[in-house]
Structure 1
């Protein structure tokens, strides 16, 4: 087992960034195999995600990252968005730990169970990570069509404003595409709900 990348000083975790990257690479190889690699072009994205996850307030302020909001991680298909959001949970405190659910799976659950699914994910008072915004299609339950993820995002916005419970998400869509899919109201809420962090548009598909 690799040594953790931080020391406890005055009851606080003090991280070494280079050691943290090596630790993530170790975790990635352990979980996903030897093909896992942190590419040099991704280091800046990793840095922003890590300082958020460990609540490094000074660095977050420097990069205009609001710890009261969630993360919307944007990047091309195959850039590793889901993988990194999964691995970085190891640094979270218990109250910040989020469960991962893909938008496609949520849409499929709605088709089987109906509006209860919107309440299940929209009103649950725990952090949630919705993977791959935009890959789901509008869902139908007994002929009634619903923009399931859009409705859940609106409810998650209420959770944030009323109870400070954050939501995280990934997508390969840009802001205009998200608005086309979910509408202007959801787009305006996204700005208030999320810190936007992006992989470079030139990032190659790491699955190839």
Structure 2
């Protein structure tokens, strides 16, 4: 029998909670311990979970394990995607790469830099937009700082078009999309327009680091 709250990394087993009947009662402290250990495996021994981020991580962990009661308390909808915002270097990308490992039996998402999709569009054109508008789960990293796309002399706001395709997937097939961004709501609207911004409000839970969060890469 598979137990979603028991995860093995190498020779170490992490028990993220306790089984009570047919429910798992997760422990936030144990999830933090696992995330830090997994982070060191993925990113090196200097990786650490900062205490200042615990409040935000509590929201993200409850979202990932689909704790509906806790999500409701934080104004999160587990059926929407995440839009994780914050200043450069605060740890958005690392967390999104890490968090999916908390729930090994849920369908995983792939983290892709937004600029890579624009480079793909510049090379092969509109097939890139259709490829990323399919039913796979993605996290688009660094949304809003990618360049404008250009293919055979035609400009295209590639990520704006992909987000519109992902909106259709969300509405018709409940496929979630995640993003990280350094931009605020006003900047996102300036970058993608009111139509895309309106769709984003429906697609995403906004979870934000404090704007004074330090650059952890220094």
Post-superposition Cα deviations, 1:131-190, rounded to whole Å, max 9, x if no partner, equal 110121111011111000000000100100001001000000001111111111011111
Q: Are positions 1:125 and 2:135 aligned together?
A: yes
What is the aligned residue count?
Answer: 207
Which residue is equivalent to 1:139? 149
Greater shift, 142-151 or 84-93, is seen at 84-93
Question: Counterparts in 2 of 1:25-104, with a 5 A limit?
Answer: 25-92=36-103, 94-104=105-115
TM-score, normalised via structure 1 length: 0.96
Q: Give the Cα–Cα distance (whole angstroms) in 1 for the partners of residues 98 and 46 of structure 2.
A: 15
Structure 1 alignment gaps of length 5 or more: none
Give ranges in structure 2 of 5+ residues lacking alignment.
1-11
**Normalized per residue, which structure has more helix?**
1
SS at match of 2:207: strand
1:31 positional shift: 1.3
Larger RCO (CA under 8 A, 6+ residues apart): 1
Which of 174, 189, 196 aligns to 1:186? It is 196
> Does the Cα contact within 8 Å between 1:52 and 1:65 map onto a contact in 2?
yes
Checking the alignment, whether the CA contact within 8 Å between 1:133 and 1:170 is kept in structure 2 is: yes
Structure 1 contact 2–23 (Cα < 8 Å) conserved: no
User: For residue 195 of structure 1, what is the aligned residue in structure 2?
Assistant: 205
- Deviation larger for 156-165 or 13-22: 13-22
- The farther-off stretch of 28-37 and 190-199 is 28-37
TM-score norm. by structure 2 comes to: 0.92
SS in 2 for 1:183: helix
* Contact 1:41-1:200 within 8 A present in 2 as well: no
Distance 1:81 1:157 in 2: 22
Contact 1:140 1:146 (C-alpha < 8 Å) held by counterparts:
yes
Displacement of 1:67 after TM fit? 1.1
Q: Which moved more, 1:23-32 or 1:191-200?
A: 23-32
Tell me the CA shift for residue 126 of structure 1. 2.1
Please give the per-residue CA displacement for 1:100-148, whole angstroms capped at 9, x wherever unaligned.
Answer: 11100000000001000000001x1122111110121111011111000
Runs of 4+ in 1 over 4 A off after TM superposition: none
Partners of 2:115 and 2:88 in 1: CA distance = 15
1:22 equivalent to 2:19? Answer no
